[in-house]
Structure 1
């Protein structure tokens, strides 16, 4: 994994331009805080990428568990950050409006950690099944695994309709799987296991027991888990502009 260059961060400039084009007042607080945190850590990383990326060797074998927290919040370069955060922008606006800010923040935290855990399990399983120890050393970084989990969640709440994947209309319920394949057809260097981990976490929430477990663990505000409707009032034209312009596929995804 190479260190990001110190030249002009074009991707960061475009991301900030997109945020201000949408309007900070039109972005709900948890989504805005997630964007701000990722940008801040891109500019002021807590650790170098090689010390924050996630792998079986570093995290499990060497017991460096803090990588579960660091990995999703660090990005390899400004374009990696740009594509992931533009995707987060429209997903966050849509899902935070539906779920409410407290529950959406809870979802982001749980998805961030659990996606890393599932990634480690996948890499370990592949290494064992194929007899390839290199899979234990594959190191991933970036928010795109979480984005795939959010994509599954978003498609669950919007089951109708189609999305365009490489020029082909795909039903929403299959969109995550189609985009998983498409991204690795277009950009084979991305982390297939990282994206697959995100899809599996999303399915655990929408089809499995995770949501009930989260409600139980939530304690004091689980009883308020009625998912309030629209808590924020956005400019409708701006919201549709996001859907039209934002790239829902994190092309420069986990590496």
Structure 2
């Protein structure tokens, strides 16, 4: 999450590198995490603002995360949308590279439904905790800058929360900008180092993300099974999958229907209106007496007679394959 006033997006040619890296990462994965891909696309599209979305998206000046404006105006779009906006290309690419690495691991290990639930909860917790911290500094220490004057956007608060969740059960050590620390404390080390070298970033936004990750793990420990939000998301996903599955089955049935020439292979049971050649397993129309593929004929009562006039038994497997390729080529 980065603080400051909007200076305008200046392209540095880094987005093609992000796209190449994401495509390469997804290409090698046996299962492609869809939610992570959706988050990458959403952040990138919001930054690029293509013409078909321009009229729908608020401008960054309308979504800066500022506790005072959120509470004063009950402006929830600042609360929820600020995480998806970035101030420049390097800010976007750095965050999306981190999201790609963390999102793939988390979504693969916990499943898409639980991953969506986690992202939603972490977003609400991290933004809420950041607001509470800013308000607490104002009330107890009379320090009002984070509450009144700090404007921030970016996905990094959520990334800090994801890092806490990802490393929560790790006993390994990790490298944080050259500093070797236990993985479970990596988020704290990164918080301090980033603040030292990039002081204009939002300290409270990142701290709120870390605390949100810790609180999420505590809340998750209270449930033996999936949390209620995960159950709701799974039910909604199931409702959406049903019509898609129905449409997919309709298309598959259409592809398997026979129209004169039949199909090769398929089920053992012959389809209605067809007969299967025992020599080459080609499904032929009931209108045909001889197999279109190898010439074997059938009798009038529907039983198949193997004729030797076309030497179907002597045809090598490679010749049958060649004929099938020619038939459908």
Query: TM tier, shorter chain?
Result: 0.7 to 0.9
The more displaced of 8-17 and 100-109 is: 8-17
Q: Shift of the alpha carbon at 1:210?
A: 4.8
2:115 to 91, 96, 104: 104
Return 79-88 or 26-35, whichever deviates more. Answer: 26-35
Q: Match for residue 215 of structure 1? A: 227
CA contact (8 A) 2:113 2:230 kept: no
Residues 1:19 and 2:19 are matched in the alignment: no
Q: Secondary structure at the match of 1:169?
A: strand
Kindly indicate whether structure 1 or structure 2 has the higher relative contact order, using CA contacts under 8 Å at least 6 residues apart: 1
TM-score (norm 1): 0.79
Q: Any unmatched runs of 5+ in structure 1?
A: 224-255
Q: For 2:76, what is the secondary structure of its paired residue?
A: coil
Give, in whole Å, the separation in 2 of the partners of 1:58 and 1:201: 22
List alignment gaps of at least 5 residues for structure 2: 236-329
RMSD across aligned positions (CA): 2.2
Is the contact made by 2:130 and 2:204 (CA closer than 8 Å) also made in structure 1?
yes
- The alignment partner of 1:23 has SS state of helix
| From 32, 39, 44, the counterpart of 1:34 | 39
- Partner Cα separation in structure 1 for residue 6 and residue 15 of structure 2: 16
In the alignment, is the contact (CA less than 8 A) between 2:64 and 2:153 conserved in 1?
Answer: yes
Secondary structure at 2:14 match in 1: helix
For the pair 1:57 / 2:68, whether they are aligned, the reply is yes
Tell me: CA distance 1:113–1:85, structure 2 relative to 1, closer, same or farther (3 Å): same
Structure with higher Rg: it is 2
Structure (1 or 2) with the greater helix fraction: 1
2:168 is paired with a residue of what secondary structure? Answer: helix
Shift of the alpha carbon at 1:110? 1.6
Q: What's the TM-score once normalised by structure 2's chain length?
A: 0.62
Q: CA deviation at 1:102?
A: 0.8
- Spell out, residue by residue over 1:236-255, the C-alpha distance to the aligned partner (whole angstroms, 9 max, x if none): xxxxxxxxxxxxxxxxxxxx
Cα–Cα, structure 1 residues 24 and 81, in superposed 2: closer, same or farther, change >3 Å?
farther
